[in-house]
Structure 1
């Protein structure tokens, strides 16, 4: 595999990790905000929705952790000398494409969760809807 090919794959992997780390920090931020809300007066509906979001934030963290591990394994594999074996090269390319799709899907899900949480806050806590 040409060196430029490997460098590009490594660049993409590092970019994915940065995005995932950002979402992990966002999850911490949103869980802290959720905790603040629950310290105030709480009704049953608010509590149920809060549990829903808490569960989704936990699942998101697990997904992020899994994806970062997969990316680290992929980077490790890229660092090995794989230029001579066509089958391994094809496997690396397929794995890279799969990781790309997985990260893109995770970004979409995490963005939608963030949007849904903000709408929930606007409706339930602040009392208005955009």
Structure 2
């Protein structure tokens, strides 16, 4: 049984690490998009809302770093107990369950944040389009 447990635990840890890397990449894209908006279409009346999104992106980074730290702690405990039959599941599994829940919550937060930010950008784009006097084609 021990031969099945260790590969499963390693697989789950690797999966969580990949998910966090994906979330990190998406958060970087959102911050880059924010930088482009500020650079290209900076309007003073949007400062507060843009700053609010930047704060949310930074908070997301902090949460990701905490989760990566949790993964490292679980992995260190796993390798520290690799020779103790049966103790691995009792000690590691509850931590993995909490970690999985936290990562899913973080993923949901990212999806919501991404959707909100894109909606905000669309509002800006539509406002610029309709409030700017461009010549008709």
TM-score greater than 0.5 by the shorter chain: yes
Q: Is 1:50 equivalent to 2:75 in the alignment?
A: no
- Detail structure 1 runs of 4+ shifted over 2 Å in the superposition: 40-45, 80-86
Alignment correspondent of 2:85: 84
With the length of structure 2 as denominator, give the TM-score of the two structures: 0.82
Q: Which has the larger radius of gyration?
A: 2
Cα offset for 1:9? 1.6
Alignment correspondent of 1:101: 101
Number of residue pairs matched by the alignment: 126
C-alpha contact 1:13 1:75 (8 A) present in aligned 2: yes
Cα offset for 1:85? 5.7
**Cα 1:85–1:30 shift into 2, 3 Å:** same
| Structure 2: gaps of 5 or more residues | 128-137
C-alpha contact 1:31 1:54 (8 A) present in aligned 2: yes
With the length of structure 1 as denominator, give the TM-score of the two structures: 0.86
**Cα 1:73–1:46 shift into 2, 3 Å:** same
Alignment correspondent of 2:31: 31
| Structure 1: gaps of 5 or more residues | none
